[in-house]
A = this chain, B = another copy of it.
Amino acid sequence: MTTIEALDPITNPPSTDNAKHLAHRYQEVRQTSLRLAEPLTPEDMVAQSMADASPVKWHLAHTTWFFEAMVLREARPDYDWYCADFHYLFNSYYNTLGKQFTRSQRGLVSRPGVAETLAYREHVDQVMSSFLLGAEEAELARWAPIVEVGLHHEQQHQELLLTDVKHLFFHNPLFPVYRQWPADATSVTSPPLGWQHFPKEIYSIGHQGEGFAYDNEGPRHETLLHAFEIADRLVTCGEYLEYMEAGGYERPDHWLSEGWATVQELGWDSPLYWFRRDDEWWHYTLAGARPVEAEEPVMHLSLFEADAYARWAGARLPTEMEWEAAAAGEPIIGNFVENEVFHARAATAEEGKGMFGNVWEWTSSSYAPYPGYRPPEGALGEYNGKFMCNQYVLRGGSFATSRSHIRATYRNFFPASARWQFTGLRLAKDST
C-alpha cells in the first residue's frame, strides 16, 4: 500500500475553490455511506442474501476501490494498491480491469472485516483529499469528472445498501429494525387520481449542458411522442389491494406471458415483503413489520406486476420518453434519503405530481442506447452500456435516493422480475 507520505511530493499549489468544493463534496458523500451503515453490526455487514444483493461491507469497500482504480491508479502512477488482493475482491464487473471475485460468494469473504474495511476507506479518503486539494488546475479539470462519477457511483451504492439490508433482514424471523419508525410521522393522504395531458409533438429527451449526468442520459435528441395522458400521482397500496382482491394474482388475464409464468413458478401472491398476519396484510419495512397503509404508494413490485396492474386499471405504463417529458421542468422536491424516513409516503401538496423520490417508477421502455450514444473509452465504458439488454427503465428516484443524485433525465434499470428495489408505478394512457 502507498502511504500518503510515500507519494511523490506535490508542490502543493494553493487549493482552488473548485478543488475545495470537490474535496468537500467528496467528504460529504463518503461520510453519508458510513452514516447509513451506522445502525448495523459487523455481523449485519457480512451477510449476502442473494446473488443480486451485496454485503454492506462489500458496498463500502467496492466504492472505495472505485476511487483507487478509476482515479488514483490512473492519475498518480506511483500510487500502490492498498492491498493488491482487494483489486480482485472489490472489482464488481469491469473486465477491462481484470478478473472479478465470484459475485454470488461475496458473503463468504469475512475478511477484511468491518474495521479493516473502514481503515481502507480512511486511507483512500486521505490520499484522495490530498490529491484533490493538491491538484493543479489542469489536473483537477481532467480528474474532477471521474471523481464526480465516483461520487454518484457511491450514491447509487448507498441506495443499494438500503435495499440489500432490507432484503437480508427480511430473511431473519426476528424482523430486525434498521431504524425506528419516526415518532412524529404524519400520514399523508393520496388525493383522487387525475390526468395530465401531453400533445403529439417532437420533444427533446436526454441530458445536455451543466451538471452531472451519466453517459447513458445522452446525447440529448429529438423524439416524436404521440399524445398521451399521465397520472398526477403514484398508485397506492389501497388501489393495489383492490387488484389483489379482484384476483390479480390468481388469473392470467392481465399478465405478460413471462410475468404469469413467474407468478406461478415463484408463488407470488402479493408485493415482496407483504405477508398475512391476523387476517390483515402486513409488510416488512426498514422499521420492522407494520400493517400495510392504504394511502402509501405501493412498492416492491416487479415490472410484471406493475404492468398487469396497469392493464387491469384500463391504463398502461408510461414510456421513459413520456415520463421525461412529463417531468421536465418539475422541481426536484420530494421524499429523499436526506429526509431519513426510509419509507415511501404520498406526495405532499407542494410536491405536485410527486415525480421525484418515494419510489422508482417502472416505465415500459426497454433500456437501450439513445441515437448516437457511444460509451466512453476504457473501464468507465462498462459502467452503463453493456447492460442495455433485457432490462427496463425506471425513473424518478426513491426515498433512498439522494436529492443531489437525481434529475429528470436519470435512467435507472433493472430486470423485469426484480422486486427488492423500491419500485412502484404511475399510470399512463393514450390520449384519445
Which A residues are within 8 Å of any B CB, using their own CB?
41-47, 49, 57, 85, 88-89, 93, 95, 101, 105, 107-114, 168-169, 171-174, 176, 202, 221-224, 226, 252-253, 255-260, 303-304, 307, 364-366, 368-369, 371-372, 382, 386-390, 416, 430
| A46 & B49 in contact (Cβ 8 Å cutoff) | no
Q: Which residues on the B side are within 8 Å of A43 (C-beta)?
A: 42-43, 45-46, 57, 110-111, 113-114
Given A173-B85, A303-B389, A390-B390, decide whether A41 and B366 contact each other with a Cβ distance below 8 A: no
Given A57-B43, A368-B364, A371-B430, decide whether A202 and B224 contact each other with a Cβ distance below 8 A: yes
Most buried by B among A111, A221, A253, A304: A111
Main secondary structure on chain A at its contact with chain B? mixed
Q: Which residues on the B side are within 8 Å of A224 (C-beta)?
A: 202, 222-224
| B110 & A41 in contact (Cβ 8 Å cutoff) | yes
Q: Report A389 CB to chain B, min CB distance, Å.
A: 5
Q: Which residues on the B side are within 8 Å of A57 (C-beta)?
A: 43
Q: Which residues on the B side are within 8 Å of A44 (C-beta)?
A: 110-111, 113
Q: Report A257 CB to chain B, min CB distance, Å.
A: 4
Given A42-B42, A222-B224, decide whether A176 and B111 contact each other with a Cβ distance below 8 A: yes
Given A168-B108, A174-B85, decide whether A390 and B416 contact each other with a Cβ distance below 8 A: yes
Alpha-carbon gap, A416 to B111, bound state (A):
32
Q: Which residues on the B side are within 8 Å of A221 (C-beta)?
A: 226
Alpha-carbon gap, A256 to B391, bound state (A):
12
| B257 & A387 in contact (Cβ 8 Å cutoff) | yes
Given A95-B252, A111-B172, 20 new contacts (CB under 8 A): A41-B110, A41-B113, A42-B43, A43-B111, A44-B110, A44-B111, A47-B107, A47-B110, A105-B171, A108-B168, A109-B171, A109-B172, A110-B168, A110-B169, A110-B172, A256-B387, A258-B387, A365-B368, A371-B430, A372-B430
Q: Report A99 CB to chain B, min CB distance, Å.
A: 10
Alpha-carbon gap, A430 to B372, bound state (A):
6
Q: Which residues on the B side are within 8 Å of A45 (C-beta)?
A: 43
Q: Report A201 CB to chain B, min CB distance, Å.
A: 11
Q: Which residues on the B side are within 8 Å of A108 (C-beta)?
A: 47, 49, 168, 171-172
**Which residue of B101, B257, B386 is within 8 Å of A386 (Cβ)?**
B257
Q: Which residues on the B side are within 8 Å of A111 (C-beta)?
A: 41, 43-44, 172, 174, 176
| A388 & B171 in contact (Cβ 8 Å cutoff) | no
Identity of the chain B residue whose Cβ is nearest the Cβ of A390 in the assembled complex:
B390
Q: Which residues on the B side are within 8 Å of A109 (C-beta)?
A: 171-172, 174
Q: Report A264 CB to chain B, min CB distance, Å.
A: 11
Alpha-carbon gap, A74 to B223, bound state (A):
44
Identity of the chain B residue whose Cβ is nearest the Cβ of A56 in the assembled complex:
B110
Q: Report A410 CB to chain B, min CB distance, Å.
A: 20
Q: Which residues on the B side are within 8 Å of A371 (C-beta)?
A: 226, 430
Q: Report A248 CB to chain B, min CB distance, Å.
A: 14
Alpha-carbon gap, A47 to B42, bound state (A):
11
Identity of the chain B residue whose Cβ is nearest the Cβ of A102 in the assembled complex:
B171
A-B contact pairs, 28 of them (CB 8 A): A42-B113, A43-B43, A43-B45, A43-B57, A43-B111, A43-B114, A44-B113, A46-B110, A47-B47, A47-B108, A49-B108, A88-B173, A89-B173, A89-B174, A95-B252, A109-B171, A110-B172, A224-B224, A255-B386, A256-B386, A256-B387, A256-B388, A257-B386, A257-B387, A258-B390, A260-B386, A364-B369, A366-B368
Alpha-carbon gap, A44 to B364, bound state (A):
42
Identity of the chain B residue whose Cβ is nearest the Cβ of A375 in the assembled complex:
B311
Q: Report A278 CB to chain B, min CB distance, Å.
A: 18
Q: Report A369 CB to chain B, min CB distance, Å.
A: 8
Q: Which residues on the B side are within 8 Å of A388 (C-beta)?
A: 256
Q: Which residues on the B side are within 8 Å of A42 (C-beta)?
A: 41-43, 113
